[in-house]
Amino acid sequence: MNTTISIASRPAPRHPDAGSVPWVRYGLSALALAILGLFLILPLVAVLAEAFREGWQAYLDAITDRYTRHAMLLTLITALICVPLNTLFGIAAAWCIARFQFPGRSLLTTLIDLPFSVSPVIAGLVFILIFGSQGWFGGWFTTHGFPVIFALPGIVLATLFVTLPFVARELIPLMQAQGAEQEEASIMLGASAWRMFWTITLPRIKWGLLYGVILCNARAMGEFGAVSVVSGHIRGATNTLPLHVEILYNEYQFSAAFAVATLLAGLAIVTLVLKSIIEWRQQRQWENASP
Amino acid sequence: MSIHVEHLTKRYADFTALDGIDLAIDDGELVALLGPSGCGKTTLLRSIAGMEFADSGRILLEGRDMTREPIRHRQVGFVFQHYALFNHMSVFENVAYGLRVRPRAQRPPEAEIRRRVHELLDLVQLDWLARRFPPQLSGGQRQRIALARALAVEPRYLLLDEPFGALDANVRKELRRWLRRLHEELHVTSLFVTHDQEEAMEVASRIVVMNQGRIEQVGTPDAIYDTPATPFVSTFIGSVNVLHGTLEPGHFQSGGWRLPLPDGGTTKRATNQDVFVRPHDIEIVRDRHLPCQVSVRHVHPLGSSYRIDVTPARGAGEAPRIDDDCLTIELTRQAFKALALEVGERVGVKVQHLHWFHRDAAPALAEAV
């Protein structure tokens, strides 16, 4: 594993001509920076500028508004349910796929990627079909006092579906590259499977796992499409932060909409910083691990 | 602490890893499983350890049937080719691991763990590395730590999977000797897998030669070298000249060769024979009257010995041809110097020892003189 990674991270041999012509180098760099500025930095600046257009007080009012606070709470609850569940699922799935050969293994690998290839709106519609009032099981759940659609369970289900691949996708290649030898050694020395997981497997995958968890969390908090379909947009009840931004915007409360949007943008920036720190730590771990 | 393997068979989708293996290893032996890659030796080792389960057959440890028993009941220490040290733990914690994971009731107190770990690190002469981490060690040091870790749980059997395979040639030689000494000290029943015949000959008291999921021969290093049971063993162990042809009373006929057999050769005529002659079993004599005359074609100095390629001598004025059958002869440095051979020279040869197998017959029909 270590050798593959160190080879992959080594700079590729440069073509003797590439980069020796200054205008090619500067031209390409300028192009990349321009695209970056236009599509990433500019929108972020626009969000901030719009949010503070009517001053600090209006910004604070918008983000401490009763409905905004409720949307924040709902988003946090959703993430708190979905991220641990998908972390558990991700570890279990990665373990199965990386450590065992069984019929249907490649099918499972493909299925894990399904949420990435299906449009989130379709994912939401699927849950409406199953649990909606006209759906297969919707009637039963509603009559038993446990509505799924237009309620928290629906939002959680849709978010679970959309964020399912993140942890597993991060861990499968990592665990495959690491191989099972250290785990076998642990068992040979008399450790139980449980003990082996906590003392050997988890310490070795912790940075990859954290990376997956952070991406999963970012998506769980930011998901719009699938949640939008199942939530019903009931203010103070089933409105998550991204949906709240949309509602405010549609009501021409532009400043308030952008103020709430800064919360999501802030989450994105925190995610990016954490992601870079983890990538750096992971890189260091690999470098230390290579002979 | 004996190991008995009875008719062990393991098949994968498209090939047979173990094909009815029977093997008995006595208490305190140091045995090598030798064979080319894919011959099933590692599968056999892992089956004994309990990391793989065979389709049929039995594994008995000390007479008890352990075929279906989980790993932890087998009291086996295992050393991996790529060390499999826990990189996130110090050397000390690596060695202590097997003691720390014991159920609370059997776990020694901390002071006892410390004492045992340092004792083992002393045994492998690496106590000074206790606080380092595995990635900071050399390959040879890592493998010795891996061995200390395996010994920490006081295994009754020590299984080593290509233990020196990932090491440099010099380190490998040193560790071989070291493993032998360690075994003499500890006397734990040990089985190691290798594809290196030299390693097997040097370290093991007995060698099990495997090929294509079967055992070809079991014996001491000398027995395997001197009286190989099958054509495979003949070619796999040591270097050998292989000639195909017909045995006749007194000599062997193959292509351009007419080799006189040593005394007591066969009296019957037999076709389709593979004859095996070790390079050091051919003697060069400056004698024009010997029936077998050769031309010296190449001389390769190998340090302590010389390798000489010869072809059948042709009549005077007849040029040597590129497709002449070649025999390789090995001479000690002294013997070569005494002869003072020249390339192109014509000399006589005598074969002192050879053995042959009928090409298509069962291995039992081996004969030798």
Rounded alpha-carbon distances, angstroms, from residue A217 to A258, A270, A274: 21, 11, 12
Q: Say how far apart CA A131 and CA B96 lie, in whole Å.
A: 54
pLDDT in tens, B47-88: 999 998 899 999 999 988 988 888 888 889 999 989 999 999
pLDDT-based confidence at residue B108 (cuts at 50, 70, 90)? very high
pLDDT-based confidence at residue B319 (cuts at 50, 70, 90)? low
> Of the candidates B279, B204, B268, which has an alpha carbon nearest to the alpha carbon of residue B239?
B279
pLDDT in tens, B239-291: 899 988 888 888 888 877 888 888 766 667 888 888 899 999 999 988 888 88
- The lowest-confidence range among A52-56, A92-96, B103-107, B221-225 is A52-56
CA distance B121 to chain A (A): 17
| Interface contact flag, A186 B77, Cβ < 8 Å | no
Which of A181, A189, A200 lies closest to B82 in CB terms? A181
Examine the pLDDT at A124 and tell me if it is beyond 60. Answer: yes
CATH 3.40.50.300 at B3-236, yes or no: yes
Q: How large a percentage of chain A has pLDDT more than 70? A: 91
Q: Say how far apart CA B175 and CA B157 lie, in whole Å.
A: 19
ipTM > 0.90 for the complex: no
Which of B78, B135, B139 lies closest to A289 in CB terms? B135
CB B50 within 8 A of CB B70: yes
Q: How many CB atoms lie within 10 A of CB B184?
A: 10
Examine the pLDDT at A1 and tell me if it is beyond 60. Answer: no
Examine the pLDDT at A182 and tell me if it is beyond 60. Answer: yes
Rounded alpha-carbon distances, angstroms, from residue A36 to A67, A277, B91, B318: 34, 21, 47, 81
Three-state SS across A7-57? HHHCCCCCCCCCCCCHHHHHHHHHHHHHHHHHHHHHHHHHHHHHHCCCHHH
Q: What is the pLDDT of residue A141?
A: 78
Examine the pLDDT at A9 and tell me if it is beyond 60. Answer: no
Q: What is the pLDDT of residue A132?
A: 80
Torsion angle in degrees (nearest 10) through CA of B307, B311, B316, B319: -100
Residue of A nearest to B98 (CA): A189
Torsion angle in degrees (nearest 10) through CA of A4, A10, A15, A19: 150
Q: Say how far apart CA B48 and CA B18 lie, in whole Å.
A: 12
The identity of residue A227, as a single letter, is: V
Q: In sequence order, which residues have a C-beta less than 8 Å from that of residue B248 and are 6 or more positions away?
A: B269
Which of B72, B84, B135 lies closest to A190 in CB terms? B72
Provide φ and ψ at B216, rounded to 5°. Answer: -85, -40
Examine the pLDDT at B326 and tell me if it is beyond 50. Answer: yes
What topology is assigned to B241-368 in CATH? OB fold (Dihydrolipoamide Acetyltransferase, E2P) (2.40.50)
| Interface contact flag, A189 B97, Cβ < 8 Å | yes
Q: In sequence order, which residues have a C-beta less than 8 Å from that of residue A225 and are 6 or more positions away?
A: A119, A120, A121, A123, A124, A162
CA distance B68 to chain A (A): 15
Q: How many CB atoms lie within 10 A of CB B306?
A: 19
Is the pTM here over 0.90, yes or no?
A: no
pLDDT in tens, B116-159: 999 999 988 899 999 999 999 999 899 999 999 999 999 999 99
- Going from N- to C-terminal start, the domains of chain B cover 3-236, 241-368
What DSSP line would sit under B269-316, residue for residue?
-EEEEEEEE-GGGEEEE--TTSS-EEEEEEEEE-SSEEEEEEEEPPPT
What DSSP line would sit under B126-188, residue for residue?
-GGGTTS-GGGS-HHHHHHHHHHHHHHT--SEEEEESTTTTS-HHHHHHHHHHHHHHHHHH--
Q: Say how far apart CA A219 and CA A117 lie, in whole Å.
A: 15
